[in-house]
Amino acid sequence: MSNIIQLLPDHVANQIAAGEVVQRPASVVKELMENAVDANATLVSLIIKEGGKTLIQVVDNGSGMTDTDARLSFERHATSKIKAAEDLFHLHTKGFRGEALASIAAVSHVDMKTKTEVEEVGTHLMVEGSHITQQEPCVTPIGTSISVKNLFFNIPARRNFLKSASVEHKHVIDEFQRVALVHPSVAFKFIHNDSELFNLPVANFRHRIVGVMGSKMNEKLVPVKEETDLIQLYGFVGKPEFAKKSRGEQFFFVNDRFIKHPYLHHAVSSAFEGLLKDKAYPTYFLYLQVNPESIDINIHPTKTEVKFDNEHAIYSILRSSVKHSLGQFNVSPVLDFNKDASMETGYDQHKLGAKIPSVVVDRNFNPFEAEYKFSSTFKLPSSKRNTPNPSWEALYTNLEGQDDDLLNIEVDSEQVSGSLFQGEHTQHKSSGTFQFQRKYIITSTKSEMLIIDQHRAHFRILYEELLRNITAKPALSQQLLFPLKLQLDTNEISVFKTLKESLTNAGFSISEIGEDFVKINGIPNRLPESETSILLDQLLSDFESDIPDSGFDQTDRLAKSLAQSMAIKNGAVLHKEEQTELVNLLFSCKEPMLTPLNRLVFVKQSASDFDKKFM
């Protein structure tokens, strides 16, 4: 029998190793930016095109490399961070595995220019699929510039698994934020498709958070600080009233490294217990400093998972510190933290006499001297608008004759239709409706009874209507008297730009999209103005993790999100006319039996079903 085990060629082994480190363009961004920070750079620029699928370039002004180091940096297990196994427990840098550049070069075209401070000229390297094709001296500034082009050019199957440019761009933003948030002493720039998204100067932690997440974040933050022998904790948590329905604004950093840790997340969530709305998640930016010997960060190739020696103690410190900060800054009820001295009652208060309040009366005030000002709802005839100092008698005299126009007061009011729904009625005939528990609509046909979930029914109705509006006939919108201005972060602005056309067809009138705000002049007819910001916040949360390509997937997802948010909720009281309208519109839908999420809208009960219950 012949031998069946063989050694893989180097280029195959490099591609396998790349699969552990390089999963998408964001993985390349993470490795290159961390290397730039490790090189003591004070300015790091990130330039990408088409979400990083075409170009990823990181330019820094760090220490640079010699020509020999530049060539060795693309070899596997080549690193300047560790020399012995014991060094793994004394890490103070980002990268240490020696796999990053080798893995990136195995699946892309890499162009590197680097120069140290002591050398007169730099080094230019070109690598294609792990093979160095060119190395020559070049003129370049101090530091390193690495361009990664055509990611996964030699692995078409991996390239086909990449998402759209907008989705990959969002993942790149996530990695950029994770590096920028933990290094406020380093200036960062981010340019996508020749458009500058971030320009972050050197700042403190609070200013860096506001610079990354948007100006609206400043009012949401509550500082957290605690120092013990085991851990040093500092950072910020968000006020409970600003909690979101997504997990996007949750950041843990341990020894200047972003991590994901469900156990510590539970500690923060338990500190917010009783303060958050249903299905809302707290916002936090927490920085932990621990002894490097007490953690193990070498348990995952991406180094986002760590193992603590004393997790239980860290959990307790984190939970109590967050809870203390929420109480100290009057976010949650407290018994005694730092009280305001002006609110205290002194022990000698009983010796002081009662102070009688003084009342000041303006004896010259005459309420009948002012000109009458009617509400904007009513329009007074022009002949009466400028009459000075009218008397009470004038309101009850001369109501006939020349002043008949006083009786013709115009009233601008909306006609009450008595129905929440609009649309064509169908041929479905029922013998009446009944609302049960403010949740179900009960109606009957000739042979059976229908029990309809009112929220799901309206969800189905609005979904099909929105699909028609977005794809075929744009919906009408109601113009707002005052434009609505929403403050959004960079991720949300990116999502909004992608969905702008579909939102316009759905009935939104968007007049301006700025760097951190969106101005809306009109909203769909069915949407109350007071609920617009809530609906759009939910919509952006639904699209936060993934943005489908332009086409039906995006339209379908948008219609589902809008319809579910706009649909009447269980607990709403519907009049008879509204119940009937709901039933008729439901059975005019193409698929009345199921919601867009494939859940039952109604159930049937036949006469025989009732007969069996009485046997």
177 contacts: CB under 8 Å, gap ≥ 6: 212, 213
Locate 178 and state its tokens.
């994770």
Which of 414 and 196 is assigned the larger pLDDT? 196
Per-residue pLDDT tens over the stretch 391-404: 545 544 554 444 44
Residue whose structure tokens are 């009485």: 614
483 φ, ψ (degrees, to nearest 5): -55, 145
Q: How far apart are CA 495 and CA 92, in angstroms?
A: 36
Rounded Cα gap, residues 615 and 612, in angstroms: 5
Put simply, whether the predicted model's pTM sits higher than 0.75 gets the answer: no
How sure is the predictor about 123, in pLDDT bands with cuts at 50, 70 and 90?
Answer: very high
- pLDDT (tens digit per residue) in 193-247: 888 889 999 999 999 999 998 888 888 899 999 998 889 999 999 988 888 877 7
Nearest to 453 by CA among 594, 578, 560, 559: 594
Q: How far apart are CA 38 and CA 13, in angstroms?
A: 27
Query: How many angstroms separate the Cα of 615 from the Cα of each of 346, 447, 449, 604?
Result: 77, 19, 19, 20
Among 382, 381, 385, 384, CA closest to 409: 381
**Among 110-124, 264-278, 423-437, 553-567, which range has the highest average pLDDT?**
110-124
Phi and psi (nearest 5°) for 403? -105, 30
Identify which has the larger pLDDT, 384 or 532: 532
- For the chain, list the domains and their CATH numbers: 10-202 (3.30.565.10), 212-328 (3.30.230.10), 433-604 (3.30.1370.100)
Cα dist from 577 to 414, 426, 572, 574, 593, whole Å: 18, 15, 14, 8, 22
Spatial CB neighbours of 39, under 8 Å, sequence gap ≥ 6: 60, 62, 63, 64, 143, 144
Q: How far apart are CA 30 and CA 44, in angstroms?
A: 12
pLDDT confidence of 415, banded at 50, 70, 90? very low
Looking at residue 426, its pLDDT comes to: 42
Contact 205, 63 (CB under 8 A): no
* CB 297, CB 341: distance < 8 Å: no
Q: What's the confidence (pLDDT) of residue 334?
A: 47
Fill in the DSSP letter of residue 569: P
Dihedral pair phi/psi, residue 430, rounded to 5°? -120, 165
**Does residue 464 contact residue 566 with C-beta atoms inside 8 Å?**
no
Provide mean pLDDT across the span 553-572.
Answer: 83
487-541: pLDDT as tens digits: 887 777 878 888 888 888 888 888 888 877 888 888 887 777 777 887 888 787 7
Q: Calculate mean pLDDT across residues 240-267.
A: 85
* Tokens of residue 293, six digits: 């010997």
Backbone angles phi, psi at 110, to 5 degrees: -115, 135
Tokens of 109: 């075209």
Model pLDDT, residue 419: 44
**Residue-wise pLDDT tens digits, 316-371:** 999 999 998 888 775 655 444 455 555 555 555 556 666 777 777 777 777 666 44
Express each pLDDT in 145-192 by its tens digit. 999 998 888 888 888 888 888 888 888 998 999 999 999 999 999 999
Question: According to the model, what pLDDT value does residue 234 have?
Answer: 92
Contact by Cβ (8 Å): 44, 36: yes
- pLDDT at position 208, please? 93
Q: According to the model, what pLDDT value does residue 235 have?
A: 93
CA angle 527, 419, 505 (to 5 degrees): 30
Beta-sheet strand order (sheet of 602-606):
433-436, 440-444, 448-453, 602-606
CB 541 within 8 A of CB 244: yes
Q: Give the model's pLDDT for residue 380.
A: 35
Distance CA 48, CA 146 (A): 12
Tokens of 206: 């609070």
What are residue 123's DSSP bridge partners? 114, 137
Give the integer Cα–Cα distance in Å for 545 and 30.
Answer: 18
How far the first Cα of the chain sits from its last, in Å, is 76
Lookup: tokens for 79 = 């690193």
Do 169 and 494 contact (CB within 8 A), yes or no? yes
Phi, psi of 275 (to 5 degrees): -110, -15
